[in-house]
């Protein structure tokens, strides 16, 4: 299980469109993390089942895993079956997501309903009826500090049983501070793991700004990358240095660059020793 009281640092692995997981396991073995996140069909694309991959990664590394689970592709019964499978396979946590839309969508429930479903199964019931073996799964939820209007939705997920938050990546102090202030003012009590992405090039940053909804990279960051394309980890560490006293933990999205993720991990653990 992820220790939420000791400044957890989680790292998101790359999703995989194929059945051979050797590359993902090799990536995980190069990374330092308190837990690994396993994505689920980002942007509606084909990827291997995240619960299966979470099991394989944990077996290979011994590090706790958090499988992403979306409401897009399954009924409530199908989601419950996946949660039971995660519990059986020893997956430590689930990040409950509504999911990006695809060509065909189910969406019988949304993220708050999925949170409640996991909480119910942890409490030994499904559809108000007892089940024989309760699950013991930590429940994570997402939030996007770059988009207004997130706090009320986050409060709904907290009320449903969420235990911690992992945010989308933030690239500037103003956006991070505004979100953290709003969450505090709203009475959000669960730990917030701020999302950090060490950008690996100016081209990647421009792509995110132009093509990825809900991600905003300020001009000052683009200018730094134009001057030095290898400064992604440095930019992330500078931002975290400004925020370190306010954070409950950090969620790193390394874009396949293990060296950058490990630099950030080392910085955080030095600043927040066990």
Domain parsing of the chain, residue ranges: 9-197+243-271
Spatial contact of 91 and 67, defined as CB atoms under 8 Å apart: yes
Would you say residue 102 has pLDDT above 80? no
Is residue 200 a contact partner of residue 234, using CB atoms and an 8 Å limit?
no
> Is the confidence at residue 43, as pLDDT, over 80?
no
Averaged pLDDT for residues 42-55: 82
Task: Identify the CA nearest to 92 among candidates 8, 157, 22, 159.
Answer: 8
Task: Round the average pLDDT of the chain to a whole number and report it.
Answer: 92
Query: Distance between CA 46 and CA 53 in Å, rounded?
Result: 14
Of the pLDDT bands very low, low, confident and very high (cuts 50, 70, 90), residue 122 is: very high
Q: What fold does the segment set 9-197+243-271 form as a domain?
A: TIM Barrel (3.20.20)
Q: What's the pTM?
A: 0.93
User: What band does 274 get if pLDDT is binned at 50, 70 and 90?
Assistant: very low
Q: How many CB atoms lie within 10 A of CB 113?
A: 19
pLDDT digits (tens, 9 = 90+) for 60-100: 999 999 999 999 888 999 999 999 999 999 999 999 999 77
pLDDT at 15: 72
* Share in percent of the chain as helix, strand, coil (round to 5): 45, 15, 40
Q: Three-class SS of residue 231?
A: coil
Beta strands 129-130; 138-143: pairing state:
unpaired
């Amino acid at each position: 299980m992820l220790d939420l009281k000791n400044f957890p640092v989680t790292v998101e692995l790359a999703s995989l469109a194929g059945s051979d997981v050797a590359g993902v396991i090799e990536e995980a073995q190069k990374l330092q993390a308190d837990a690994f996140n396993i994505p689920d069909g980002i942007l509606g694309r084909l990827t291997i089942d995240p619960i299966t991959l979470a099991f394989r990664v944990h077996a290979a590394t011994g590090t706790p895993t958090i499988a992403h689970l979306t409401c897009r592709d399954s009924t409530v019964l199908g989601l419950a079956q996946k949660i039971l499978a995660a519990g059986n396979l020893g997956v430590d946590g689930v990040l409950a997501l509504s999911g990006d839309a695809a060509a065909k969508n189910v969406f019988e429930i949304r993220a708050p309903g999925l949170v409640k479903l996991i909480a119910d199964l942890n409490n030994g019931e499904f559809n108000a009826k007892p089940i024989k073996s309760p699950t013991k799964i930590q429940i994570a939820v997402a939030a996007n500090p770059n988009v207004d209007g997130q706090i009320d939705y986050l409060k709904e997920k907290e009320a449903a049983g969420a235990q911690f938050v992992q945010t989308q990546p933030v690239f500037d102090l103003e956006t991070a501070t505004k979100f953290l202030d709003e969450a505090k003012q709203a009475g959000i009590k669960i730990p917030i793991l701020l999302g950090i992405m060490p950008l690996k090039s100016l081209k990647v940053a421009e792509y995110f700004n132009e093509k990825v909804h809900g991600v905003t990279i300020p001009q000052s960051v683009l200018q730094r990358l134009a001057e030095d394309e290898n400064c992604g980890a440095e930019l992330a560490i500078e931002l975290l240095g400004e925020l370190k006293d306010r954070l409950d933990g950090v969620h790193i999205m390394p874009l396949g660059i293990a060296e950058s993720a490990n630099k950030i991990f080392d910085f955080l653990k030095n600043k927040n020793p066990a």
